[in-house]
Amino acid sequence: MRITCVILTLLLLAHTAQGQLVKKYPIGNSGCSASFFCDPSPFDLSKSPDSSDVVTGECTQGDMTYGVICVQLRQPINDADASEKTVITYLDYLKTTLDITTSAPYGKGQRLRGRPDSRGILDYWQTKEGEHWKLKGWTDGYYIVVMYTFSKKKINENKADMFINSLILPTR
């Protein structure tokens, strides 16, 4: 009887852990990748007004949605401050298209692990429908990548941080 209880407990733990697995996915053919809690495939490819490639993907696990917008800039930005300002401009644009009603002040000074050439902007948003968003806009001057999570419920900060910080940009 005791062995049966142990086996059932292990099976339950394995099933619970399976829902929490993180897997690395290439973001389309962009050269970037990120770790998701769910399968964001297939990614969509489109062109921005300046002909930059834009790859998007999103998936939902439980109460949280995880998504990415990856823009491979047609014209790279060689100045780190200018590329950071471009990320802020892009985030401001997204706020208007997504009907964001509330946002926190931008958190500047973020860096991807092992990428001192990267710049990241952290923000929290809320929509008029009551969705809570946590996101980071990343750039290295060649890409602008927005990693976002949202939920009608309170954001799971640990899972959100694991996701939005998992971006891997191609090395130059």
pLDDT score recorded for residue 11: 37
C-alpha span between 39 and 153 (Å, rounded): 21
What end-to-end distance do the CA atoms of the chain give, in Å? 59
Its pTM stands at: 0.87
pLDDT by residue (tens digit) across 118-127?
A: 999 999 999 9
The mean pLDDT of the chain is 89
C-alpha span between 76 and 91 (Å, rounded): 18
pLDDT score recorded for residue 79: 94
* Furthest C-alpha separation in the chain: 67
pLDDT by residue (tens digit) across 76-126?
A: 999 999 999 999 999 999 999 999 999 999 999 999 988 889 999 999 999
Give the residue from 164, 169, 162, 103 showing the smallest Cα distance to 139: 169
pLDDT score recorded for residue 172: 77
Whether 58 and 65 have beta carbons less than 8 Å apart is answered as: yes
DSSP string over 22-56: -EEEE-TTSS-EEEESS--PSPEEEE-TT--EEEE
C-alpha span between 69 and 171 (Å, rounded): 19
Burial of 120 (0-12, 13-18, 19+ CB in 10 A): buried
Task: List Cα–Cα distances, 63 to 52, 118, 121, 137, 150, in angstroms.
Answer: 32, 30, 24, 22, 8
